[in-house]
Amino acid sequence: MRTAIVGGGAAGFFLAINLKELCPQMEVTIFEKSKKVLAKVEVSGGGRCNCTNSFESVSDLSQVYPRGHRLMKRLFKAFDYHDAYAWFERHGVRLVTQDDDCVFPASQDSHTIINLFLAEARRHHIDICTQSKIESLDQLSEFDYIAITTGGMPKAHDSLFTFHHSLFTPPVPSLFTFSIEDEALHALMGTVVEDATAFIPGTNFRATGPLLITHWGMSGPAILKLSSYAARELHDHNYQMPLAINWISGKVAGNQEAVKEEIIKLQAQSAMLKVSKVRPFDLPSRLWSYLLEKALGERAQNRWQNLNKKELNRLVNILCNDSYQIAGRAAFKDEFVTCGGIDLSTINPHTLESKDIPNLYFAGEVLDIDGITGGFNFQAAWTTAYTVAKAISHTT
Ligand SMILES: Cc1cc2nc3c(=O)[nH]c(=O)nc-3n(C[C@H](O)[C@H](O)[C@H](O)COP(=O)(O)OP(=O)(O)OC[C@H]3O[C@@H](n4cnc5c(N)ncnc54)[C@H](O)[C@@H]3O)c2cc1C
C-alpha cells in the first residue's frame, strides 16, 4: 500500500513518521514544492520552535482555537498535548515548559525538531521529493491514500483544490499587529502594560494579556489574540475598525464604577499634588502622561483637588475605554497563521477524510483550524496529523 503526503511541513512529516510507526509496511512519499522541507519549523518561535503548550491556563479550547475548537476537543481524546510532549521525549527530544506555559525543545533550537524528523524519515525509508509541486490529484493516481498537508493560505482556485471549490472557507490572515496613526502613541514605543484588555467596541471580541506599544501601533499577546479572534471581521472591514483599550483591567476588577471609586480615593489622598505626579495603578510613567494629556490636555498640570467631576469621569473613561482607530495590519514576524481552509463540515471528524473523496485526508493548517500564539498551531498540526496516520493505518 502507498500513501502520498502533499506538503513537507510540520504536519506532513509528523503524519509520515506516525504512519510508518503504526503501519511499517506502508510506502510513504512526501512531495514538497520548494527546495527545502520544514521551512516554517526552522523559523518558528524565533528559531526556538514553540512546539506545544502545557494548556494549564486553558479552561476552554475556544480561547486558544478561535476556529476548530470543537474538532480539536474531539481529536484531543486520541492525541493531545500530553501525547505530543511524550512523543517528542520518547524520540529523544528533551522539552522544557516556560512559566508562560509555552513548550520548547530544551536546546532552544528548532533544528532539534528538524533533525529528529529527518532522521526518523531516513530510518523509516520515507521518500522525500523536493521541488515537486502537486498541481492535481491525478498526478497521484498510483497511490492508495493521499494526505494534503499543504499549510496555510491555500487558494480556492489552486488547481489542487478544484475538487473542493465549494468546500473551502476563504483563507485570511490571523495573528498580526495593529497599525494605529497616532504619533504621540508611537513615541511610547517599547512601553508594555502587563495586563490590559483590548476590545472592538460593539462586538464581543476582546482579549486580555500583555500589550506592547510599537512605533507603528500596538502588538503583544493581547493584540495578537484579538487579531485572531476577529481575523475575519477585520479582513472584511479592510483592517479599519475601532479599537478600545482598558489599560487597568488587571488592576481593578469590576466596572468603571469601581475604577471611579479608586480615582476619587486617590484624589482625596493626593489633593495637593499635581495630577501628573501621582501615577495610579502602576501605569508606566510615559503612558500615564500620554493618557493624562489625552483626557485633560493642559489641565493635566493641575492639582488633584482642582479636577472637577467631568474631568474625573474623562480620566476614568480613558483608563477603561481608551479609543483608537485601527488603520491597518502589520506583520508579526514570530508567527503568522491562516484563518480559513478546508471547511470542517466536509470532512469526517473522526478520521479527517474527505466526505466526498474516499482515501483523501487533510491535516495541519490547510484545515479551517487555527490557534493563537503559544504553541497551539503546532499542536493542531501534531494532533491532526496523528489522527490521519491512525485512520489510514486502521484501513489497511
Ligand atoms: C514565522 C512563523 C513562526 C511560527 N512560529 C510558531 C510557533 O512557534 N509555534 C506554533 O505553534 N506555530 C508557529 N507558527 C505556525 C506554524 O508554523 C504552522 O501552523 C505550521 O507550520 C503548520 O504546519 P503545516 O505542516 O500544516 O504547514 P506548513 O508548515 O506551512 O507546511 C506546508 C508545506 O507544504 C508545501 N506545499 C504547499 N503546497 C504544495 C503543493 N501543491 N505541492 C507540494 N508541496 C506543497 C509548502 O511549501 C510547505 O512546505 C509559525 C508560523 C510562522 C510563519
Shortest-distance atom of ligand 1 to CA 375: 11
List the chain pLDDT tens, one digit each, 396 residues. Answer: 999 999 999 999 999 999 999 999 999 999 999 999 999 999 999 999 999 999 999 999 999 999 999 999 999 999 999 999 999 999 999 999 999 999 999 999 999 999 999 999 999 999 999 999 999 899 999 999 999 999 986 665 677 776 665 567 888 999 999 999 999 999 999 999 999 999 999 999 999 999 999 999 999 999 999 999 999 999 999 999 999 999 998 877 768 888 899 899 999 998 899 998 888 899 999 999 999 999 998 888 889 999 999 999 999 999 999 999 999 998 777 778 889 989 999 999 999 999 989 999 999 999 999 999 999 999 999 999 999 999 999 997
pLDDT at 22 (0 to 100): 97
pLDDT at 288 (0 to 100): 95
Q: Are strands 102-105 and 95-97 parallel, antiparallel or unpaired?
A: antiparallel
Q: How far is the CA of 256 from the centre of ligand 1 (A)?
A: 43
pLDDT at 130 (0 to 100): 98
pLDDT at 166 (0 to 100): 57
Termini Cα distance of the chain: 8
Q: How far apart (Å, rounded) are the C-alpha atoms in residues 140 and 4?
A: 7
Q: Specify the residue with its C-alpha closest to ligand 1, atom 52.
A: 335
Q: Is 302 exposed, middle or buried (0-12, 13-18, 19+ CB in 10 A)?
A: middle
Establish whether residue 32 lines the binding site of ligand 1, counting it when its CB lies within 6 angstroms of any ligand atom.
yes
Establish whether residue 45 lines the binding site of ligand 1, counting it when its CB lies within 6 angstroms of any ligand atom.
yes
Establish whether residue 133 lines the binding site of ligand 1, counting it when its CB lies within 6 angstroms of any ligand atom.
yes
Q: Cβ–Cβ contacts within 10 Å for residue 51, how many?
A: 27
- Which residue in this structure is represented by grid cell 466536509? 346
Q: In 3-state terms, what secondary structure has residue 360?
A: strand
3-state helix, strand, coil in the chain (%, to 5): 40, 20, 35
- Do the Cβ atoms of 26 and 19 come closer than 8 Å? yes
> Which is nearest to 93 in space by CA: 71, 73, 117?
117
Establish whether residue 48 lines the binding site of ligand 1, counting it when its CB lies within 6 angstroms of any ligand atom.
no
> Which is nearest to 185 in space by CA: 302, 332, 293?
293
For residue 52, list its beta bridge partners: 103
DSSP 71-83: HHHHHHTTS-HHH
Establish whether residue 30 lines the binding site of ligand 1, counting it when its CB lies within 6 angstroms of any ligand atom.
no
Using CA of residue 78, residue 80, residue 82, residue 83, what is the dihedral sign? positive
Q: Specify the residue with its C-alpha closest to ligand 1, atom 10.
A: 375
Q: Is 12 exposed, middle or buried (0-12, 13-18, 19+ CB in 10 A)?
A: buried
Q: Is the pTM of this model over 0.85?
A: yes
All cell numbers assigned to 377: 498551531
Q: Specify the residue with its C-alpha closest to ligand 1, atom 19.
A: 377
317 membership: H or E segment, kind and range: helix 309-320
Establish whether residue 6 lines the binding site of ligand 1, counting it when its CB lies within 6 angstroms of any ligand atom.
yes
